[in-house]
Amino acid sequence: MNDESQKEKLRQHFARRVTTQARVVLDTWQKISENRGQAESLRELFAADTDKLVRYALRFEMNDHAVAGKRILQLLASWAPGTALDDNLAAQLQEATGSLCQSTQRRSDQATGQAPQQYRRTPVYIALENRETANRLIRQLEFFGFRAAAFATARELVEACNQSKPETILMDVNFGGSALAGISTVEQLQARHETPIPIIFVSEDDGTIETRLRASRCGGEEFFYPAVDPGQLIEKIETYCNGNSSEPYKVLVLDDSRAQAKFMETVLKRAGMNAYVITDPMQIINALDEFSPEIIILDMYMPGCTGTEIARVIRQQDKFHSVPIIYLSAEEDVNKQLQAMSLGGDDFLTKPIDPKHLVATIHNRGRRARSLLALMIRDSLTGLYNHTHTLYLLEQEIVRARQKDQPLAFAMIDIDEFKKVNDTYGHPIGDRILRSLSMFLKQRLRKTDHIGRYGGEEFAVILPNTSARDAQNVLDEIRQRFSELQQQAGEQEFRVSFSCGVADWQGDSAQTLCERADKALYRSKEHGRNQISLAS
């Protein structure tokens, strides 16, 4: 990577930090404006959040955010402690947070190269008949770092989807009032998109088999009856926001016809996939090493060799033993297709290729391949990396840190007095807490950080290119926010905290790095829990 792109990457990294803090400020404001009666209790937090935003924005030279933040601070100065928030000041704050919202949006749109949008970036859309449930859900989702928006009518929802495609929609089957109106709306919506939006349907009754089939055919991934509690819904939403849909599929295409290869590349890229195209079969080994594809598309007939021969070579490598292979050919002879499949192919597409069919096939194959892989390397309760894979990743990151001469931080997290939670509220609630912490970590750490479930109620986080100090700051904020989260068990509410130990890599092995983090964690426990310690 050259100097300029390094700098740009760094700039984007810091820009994200500012926009994340801006969202924290906006969240707090939303809470204040939704509950004016208790606004005073949030006054100080709001000021502290905003102050931090201004400091970040100044440091990372994001002028719009700094100006908007300073304006909020200026207004807050006139809100005396212990007094209610008056209408006039509330209106002014609304305006000031509005411009912060706009700066935040402009930044993120620039960063992703999208056209300016009317709506805030909102990956989760909610279309529920019950507005109160919808609003409560939004607040909870925002706490976990999701962006969510609710809609009152089908028209508004459709319009919003045209503006920006959501990652998932939570949809009442009867949304819009009449029976199954919600399903009809989804059917219309999906027709406009190349790849379907995953839908989570909720229903007041258990639905006939016809209803469920119809819901499933238009992209319904889940059918919830009876309407479940927010905790469960958020978990589902999380699956569709962070799971298959977020990372584009890596597709390797081998076709000796340049025109055909180019066509495939265009189709795949338009569907949001990461395509790597080669026209020379002799390049295949190189391409596998360099690109590590998740799916491979092979032309059946090429000069010098056939697709099935190439497939055999690919299958000889352990690493690519289960990567789906899809053949392309003008072949319409079913016998030959069958033979190709028996030689290690998974699917057969005949030319001319229908782009929709191609994209759908890749999605199906890709999703299955990913879920099989996930079974091997992920923990089934939380979806985080399991113990073995976490250690493997740590070893890899150590190699990388050494090569690039970069810092590396490793953290161990352990939930405080978790046994008591289990004993008081039951094991299923304990499991819910484990999932909620794992979501919390996923939403609040960078994509490049690795999070693992190390053991029962122990988690590990690998933070590449991060000093232990920075890791400590980030995790301490997560610790604090998590400990403020209201956990629910039926009617009862309670809080849970965790302790953490952070170590920086000092050229040592994965094992000693773990031990040092573990010792630091132990110190946090010893000193009263709900805190973070740095390894000496």
**Residues near ligand GH3 (CB under 6 A):** 381, 414-419, 422, 427, 430-431, 434, 456-457, 525, 529
Please state the length of the chain: 536
Query: Sign of the CA dihedral 462, 466, 469, 472?
Result: negative
Instruction: Choose the one of Mg ion, ligand GH3, none that binds residue 456, judging by a C-beta under 5 to 8 angstroms depending on kind.
Output: ligand GH3
Prior bond of 352 cis (ω within 30°): yes
Q: Compare residues 171 and 415 and give the one whose CB is closer to Mg ion.
A: 415
Query: Sign of the CA dihedral 141, 426, 477, 247?
Result: negative
Q: Compare residues 444 and 529 and give the one whose CB is closer to ligand GH3.
A: 529
State yes or no: residue 522 binds Mg ion (CB under 5 A): no
Q: How far apart are the first and last CA of the chain?
A: 34
Q: Compare residues 36 and 427 and give the one whose CB is closer to ligand GH3.
A: 427
Query: Sign of the CA dihedral 183, 230, 383, 466?
Result: positive
Q: Compare residues 367 and 525 and give the one whose CB is closer to ligand GH3.
A: 525
Q: Compare residues 249 and 425 and give the one whose CB is closer to ligand GH3.
A: 425
Instruction: For the CB of residue 526, give the shortest distance to Mg ion in the complex, in Å.
Output: 13
User: What does DSSP assign to residue 180?
Assistant: T
Instruction: Choose the one of Mg ion, ligand GH3, none that binds residue 431, judging by a C-beta under 5 to 8 angstroms depending on kind.
Output: ligand GH3
Instruction: Choose the one of ligand GH3, Mg ion, none that binds residue 294, judging by a C-beta under 5 to 8 angstroms depending on kind.
Output: none
Instruction: For the CB of residue 512, give the shortest distance to ligand GH3 in the complex, in Å.
Output: 23
C-alpha distances in angstroms, 524 versus 238, 353, 413, 529?
Answer: 30, 60, 10, 5
| Strand-strand pairing, 199-202 and 220-224 | parallel
From 299, 414, 449, 518, residue interacting with Mg ion (rule: CB under 5 A): 414
Q: Is residue 331 within 8 Å of 350, Cβ to Cβ?
A: yes
Q: Compare residues 233 and 415 and give the one whose CB is closer to ligand GH3.
A: 415
441 closest CA partner among 489, 400, 391, 390: 390
Instruction: Choose the one of ligand GH3, Mg ion, none that binds residue 135, judging by a C-beta under 5 to 8 angstroms depending on kind.
Output: none
Instruction: For the CB of residue 420, give the shortest distance to Mg ion in the complex, in Å.
Output: 10
Q: Compare residues 414 and 504 and give the one whose CB is closer to Mg ion.
A: 414
Instruction: For the CB of residue 412, give the shortest distance to Mg ion in the complex, in Å.
Output: 11
Instruction: For the CB of residue 381, give the shortest distance to ligand GH3 in the complex, in Å.
Output: 6
- At 206, is the secondary structure helix, strand, or coil? coil
Structure tokens at 5: 């792109």
Distance CA 381, CA 210 (A): 32
502 closest CA partner among 412, 438, 408: 412
Instruction: For the CB of residue 494, give the shortest distance to Mg ion in the complex, in Å.
Output: 16
Site for Mg ion in 454-513 (CB under 5 A): 457
Instruction: Choose the one of Mg ion, ligand GH3, none that binds residue 529, judging by a C-beta under 5 to 8 angstroms depending on kind.
Output: ligand GH3
Instruction: Choose the one of Mg ion, ligand GH3, none that binds residue 419, judging by a C-beta under 5 to 8 angstroms depending on kind.
Output: ligand GH3
Q: Is residue 522 within 8 Å of 501, Cβ to Cβ?
A: yes
Instruction: For the CB of residue 239, give the shortest distance to ligand GH3 in the complex, in Å.
Output: 18
Q: Compare residues 393 and 500 and give the one whose CB is closer to ligand GH3.
A: 500
Q: Compare residues 339 and 424 and give the one whose CB is closer to ligand GH3.
A: 424
Structure tokens at 82: 């212990």
Instruction: For the CB of residue 456, give the shortest distance to ligand GH3 in the complex, in Å.
Output: 3
Instruction: Choose the one of ligand GH3, Mg ion, none that binds residue 427, judging by a C-beta under 5 to 8 angstroms depending on kind.
Output: ligand GH3
Structure tokens at 429: 């609630």
Instruction: Choose the one of Mg ion, ligand GH3, none that binds residue 336, judging by a C-beta under 5 to 8 angstroms depending on kind.
Output: none
Distance CA 53, CA 62 (A): 10
State yes or no: residue 418 binds Mg ion (CB under 5 A): yes
User: What does DSSP assign to residue 12?
Assistant: H
Prior bond of 226 cis (ω within 30°): yes
Residues near Mg ion (CB under 5 A): 414-415, 418, 457
